[in-house]
Amino acid sequence: MGGPLRVLHVVVNMNRGGAETLIMNLYRNIDRTKVQFDFLTCHEGVFDEEIKAMGGKIHRIAYVTKVGHRLYLKNLDQFFKQHQHYKIVHSHMDKMSGFVLRAAARAAIPVRIAHSHNTSSEGGPLSKAYKWYAGKHILKYATQFYACSETAANWLFDKSSNQSLILKNGIECDRFEFSVPNRKKMREDCHLDHHSFVIGHVGRFNQQKNHLFLLEVFADLVQYVPQAQLLLVGEGTLQTSIEKKIQDLHLVNNVHLLGVREDVHLLMQGFDVFAFPSLHEGLPVTLIEAQCAGIPCLISENITDEVDLEMGLVQKISITNKKIWVKALLQTRKQHQVRKTNEKKISQKGYNIRQTAVTTEKSYLKLGGINS
């Protein structure tokens, strides 16, 4: 067959999450005359139209939570039997990749990549047990192991983690370069005063991101800085709980829910500090973006040290003590750091997407048996 090598990426949906953002950053920067991305998803996503515009195909099957275990596995088997022309399947579903790659193996798809983007499964005990069962198939059916960090590789691949390709969550540095005019415009668009102390967070509204803790910290901060503002970018299953918490803590005039946005690179211009108290993470691309934008980052001590680009912007804090977070936020407010972008440092650390795209492209072509 002529044309580019088509790689099938498997995700739940193509909304703006860490894994999905990485995939889109890669997609925009690879040579699409050589490698083209297609997608197997379960729900519509915000990136769908852009994917189609770049020549990607989007396939869809219902997720296990909608159709149940047996039908989900049957649908996976049926899909791959009908699409055996793919040489490479790249699954980004953490432990659930086990089921995906088993179905791909049954259809004799030769290259099956499991990609770890996290360090823990989401959900309650039953959900985690189910994902543990799914994950038992990964080492048997994956032919390649990719991960965003060493800790993410250790979590998903265990003793095989040393075989992993660490594919860093690269970003388009120039998009995040600090700009005073963009900062002013963003604050005007969000109806924020030029002198307001603005705390930002970007992430799905789920338990992992620890929004309820962040809101409690922010409520304490407002006692000292009444005009402080908190911008939450994202959406998810805990939206109702987060909205109720905002009401209960009397923060309606201080907290702004901005939804899923495509202009995060501009929104970040208006942040004074990036707060990220996650319970667990693989290597969050939003923290790379925030450092690129020159934003001081207060993050959970549970996040891997690999995320620190050594630009003097990252401070790790225990999520067992709200007072320490409030103190750190107050100290950050006093510092008035000069915002700047150090693209050289970001490239040296391996987080320039153009470098990542070249590495990924070469990897795909080699796996697909094509000379680059």
Q: What is the pLDDT of residue 372?
A: 58
| pLDDT band with cut points at 50, 70 and 90 for residue 334 | confident
pLDDT digits (tens, 9 = 90+) for 164-195: 999 988 899 889 988 899 999 999 999 998 88
Higher-confidence position of 257 and 337? 257
CA–CA distance, 211 with 213 (Å, rounded to integer): 5
| Residues 41-75: tens digit of each pLDDT | 999 998 999 999 999 999 999 999 999 999 999 99
- Report d(CA 61, CA 40) in Å as an integer: 7
- What tens digit of pLDDT does each residue of 232-269 get? 999 999 999 999 999 999 999 999 999 988 899 999 99
Token pair 């003097």 is found at 312
- Specify the range with the lowest mean pLDDT, choosing from 3-17, 109-123, 126-140, 165-179: 165-179
The hierarchical CATH code for the domain 173-348 is: 3.40.50.2000
- Please state the domain extents for the chain: 5-170+352-367, 173-348
Distances (CA, A) of 257 to 136, 144, 190, 291: 38, 39, 11, 22
Residue 273 three-state SS: strand
Q: Which of 129, 71, 128, 79 is nearest to 104 (CA)?
A: 79
The structure's pTM equals 0.85
CA–CA separation, 50 and 11 (whole Å): 16
Same fold: 5-170+352-367 with 173-348: yes
| Closest-CA residue to 144 (of 7, 13, 2) | 7
- Is the pLDDT assigned to residue 1 strictly greater than 70? no
pLDDT band at 282 (very low <50, low <70, confident <90, very high): confident
The domain defined by 5-170+352-367 folds into Rossmann fold (3.40.50)
Over residues 82-94, mean pLDDT? 97
Q: Is the pLDDT of residue 336 over 80?
A: no
Percent of the chain with pLDDT over 90: 83
Q: Residue 82: what pLDDT?
A: 98
Rounded mean pLDDT, 343-349: 87
